[in-house]
A and B are shown apart, each in its own frame.
Chain A
Amino acid sequence: MMNASLNSDVSLRGRKVLLHDMCLRDGMHAKREQISIEQMVQVATALDEAGVPLLQVTHGAGLGGASLQHGFPLATNEEYLQAVVPKMKQAKVSVLLIPGLGTMRELQSAYDCGASSVHVATHCTEADTSPQHIAYARKLGMDTTGFLMMAHLNSPEGLAQQGKLMESYGAPTIYITDSAGYMLPADVKARVSALRAVLKPETEIGFHGHHNLGMGIANSIAAIEAGASRIDASVAGLGAGAGNTPLEVLAAVCERMGIETGVDLFKLMDMAEDMIVPMMDHLVRVDRESLTMGYAGVYSTFVLHAKRAALRFGVPARDILVELGRKKMIGGQEDMIEDTAMTMAKERGLMKDVTSTSM
């Protein structure tokens, strides 16, 4: 067992944390939405057997995500859910809903297919676009979280206000979501603490990290120290950018620290090695582009889009990403990647305006 002298200052021994796997939702981004129904069932079954209590299954952009903007998947959200949910022995299945993209009709449909939990996600300053959807999810009896994305772009106090709004709409859990993988542990602690200070004692706090600066584990632990009781992660980190917090690594750290997660570490380790990594189209890791996102604070999902635009228009992906960060583009504005790449290509003399030739 462990050496007591290696314990950190803050004892988290005995703290219970709910781990929420993201492989089959955030991981869809890393797979360009091309995870088959069979793979979904295989991965979900393995997660279920490893004791992961909650796992998310949808298009990477959630309900309503199937689009030119966000990519067309191999099957509909309904088909994925209908295949996965009946196979679960203990795990619950969640979905993602971003108002402006997904609607209540789609939420109802996901619920009818067996989804019992939902992240209702807004940009970190726009919580007031979610009251209808949070109320609807609660009416259905779904486990509902208010999910504040790109949380580094709001102050701890600002996030506390936004979280308070979502709580007032009926969300029993509020998430700090580091979509850009930009935050450092102190940033996470400040934000979770600010939420904890204003939310009702029974309201839970969650943290969703990205590993773009290699801080997924450290940030998750910082969140737990500040009072978070739910953590999103994905086995082998399969997710956008440099991936999510790698779940099996987090599980190992939690076990060392005495944090109770109820998952089977060795099964997760085997799953990461034997199932998830072989599924990857590219090794999900901190590479030049994902590091750029973490460093510049850009939405993690942009990375593959930027690489595609770079190939098409001849402007390096890193230049595009830095410009998107400068223009303060947020999640959902994937169309602006092509647009920005074209504008930059024109400025660099690589492309001509249609009006300059036809008029």
Chain B
Amino acid sequence: MKKIKCALIGSGNIGTDLIYKIKRSKVLEPVWMVGIDATSEGLARARAMGLKTTADGLDGLLPHVLQDQIQIAFDATSAYVHAENSRKLNALGVMMIDLTPAAIGPLCVPTVNLRQHADKGEMNVNMISCAGQATIPIVNAVVQVQTVGYAEIVASLSSKSVGPGTRANLDEFTYTTSDAIVRVGGARRGKALAVINPADPPVIMRNTINCITDDEPDQAKIIDSVLAMIKQVQQYVPGYRLVNGPVFDGKRVSVFMEVTGLGDYLPKYAGNLDIMTAAACRTAEMFADEILAGNIQLTAKELA
């Protein structure tokens, strides 16, 4: 079966873990990895896994895009360079999956709105943040039952799983996730909190989701909706597990989740990174299905 060829921009933890997930896909094939440090472990591993590599940044990839038929690229660099990366690759007809907090394209949570984005043939979709991927499905599961005036999420991450990019940009993480709770989750107001816990052995990623419903919560319906949503997320993140809740306190609905990673390249406690790569891979697969079925044609964007 034909596969859609992919490039990975950024040879850090996220990019490296993506290789494993994309390799397992029936419709995606990892072909290129782009880094900026010729001695990086990520590039060495990519080469060992059969990928072509460049240490010259995105410009090292551009001359090969058409010849190697790259159609989807994953950007795991930083918010600052993403816009430029996206512009250059879109110009060559490559669709971008953005794993940075740049969020220049529409925000995507596979179980909530991926279908819409794929149907529209978007050329750039943003994966929000790990906390967004882990919590917005639950917010939306409650919103599907009744209106939510306010949703607040707390993500606890193990210190070892939080890289320098996130550390230096915690505000962006907060803004992007809060915004997505509203725009994708469907709550009228949203707030996101992040806590980095240094315990050793590292703690598994935890997420607490609180929704304030406008009317008395329909407990039975909310429980069913949340459990159904968890099953959907588990299709691409098997370690997405309900620990406590849904529990009700007046109009407050609380759900306590844990995310254990697959342990591909990243350790299992780093469920936060795993849910990002898994969601990005799932997103690319749906676009690949559409491309392979001829439903969407990626076209080169005019250079602005």
Contact = CB atoms under 8 A, between A and B. Distances in A.
Do A and B pair up? The answer is yes
Interface string B159-186: 1000010011111011100000000000
Interface stretch (B57-65, B80-88, B191-199): B191-199
A335 B191 CA distance: 14
A342 B152 contact: no
Interface string A316-356: 00000000000111111101101100110000000000110
B interface: dominant SS: strand
Contact of B197 (A101, A104, A128, A333): A333
Nearest to B212: A68
A329 B210 CA distance: 19
Chain A interface residue bracket vs B: 35 or more
B8 interface: no
A136 to B, nearest CB: 9
Contact of B170 (A129, A338, A339): A129
A330 B197 contact: yes
Contacts of A335: 154, 156, 208, 210, 256
Given A339-B256, A342-B244, A342-B247, A126 B193 contact: no
A177 B7 CA distance: 46
Contact of A100 (B193, B227, B242): B193
A353 to B, nearest CB: 8
A339 B171 contact: no
Contacts of A105: 171
A122 B264 CA distance: 31
Nearest to B208: A335
B197 A67 contact: no
Given A103-B175, A104-B171, A343-B243, A129 B196 contact: yes
Contacts of A6: none
Contact of A99 (B150, B171, B210): B171
B262 to A, nearest CB: 23
Given A132-B168, A132-B169, A328-B199, A333 B156 contact: yes
Given A328-B197, A329-B197, A332-B193, A342 B171 contact: no
26 contacts: A67-B152, A67-B193, A68-B150, A68-B152, A69-B152, A69-B210, A100-B173, A100-B174, A101-B194, A123-B196, A123-B197, A123-B198, A327-B203, A328-B199, A332-B195, A333-B154, A333-B195, A333-B197, A335-B208, A335-B256, A338-B256, A339-B243, A342-B247, A343-B244, A354-B227, A354-B246
